[in-house]
Amino acid sequence: MIPRGRPVTNEADIARRAGEPQGPRKQHAYEGDPRLITAREALTTADGAPKGRIAATLAEQHGGTPRTWERLLTAAAAHTDT
């Protein structure tokens, strides 16, 4: 039988379930988010301050909730290359 449609290019394409968006998957939830750069900068200048305090400060300065900024700080610490 001759395969039809778009050729499978990688393992991620094979595992797609019905209803999932097409295209490349993100490495983490905040990939490409400009707030991630702000979170990385805050981590480098924090000098060991608790993540909750940094998140509260970022929420006051840039808007959003401290919990959102905690998640961004966690993503920034875990994924320094993207």
pLDDT single digits (tens) 10-58: 555 566 677 777 777 777 778 888 999 999 999 999 988 999 999 999 9
* Cα–Cα distance measured from residue 32 to residue 30, given in angstroms and rounded to the nearest whole number: 6
Please report which confidence band the pLDDT of residue 7 belongs to, taking 50, 70 and 90 as the band edges.
low
Rounded to 10 degrees, what is the CA torsion of 71, 37, 76, 49?
A: -80
For residue 82, pLDDT over 60 is answered with no
* Cα–Cα distance measured from residue 52 to residue 50, given in angstroms and rounded to the nearest whole number: 5
CB 73, CB 54: distance < 8 Å: yes
Please give the pLDDT value at position 30: 80
Q: Which one is predicted more confidently, 1 or 70?
A: 70
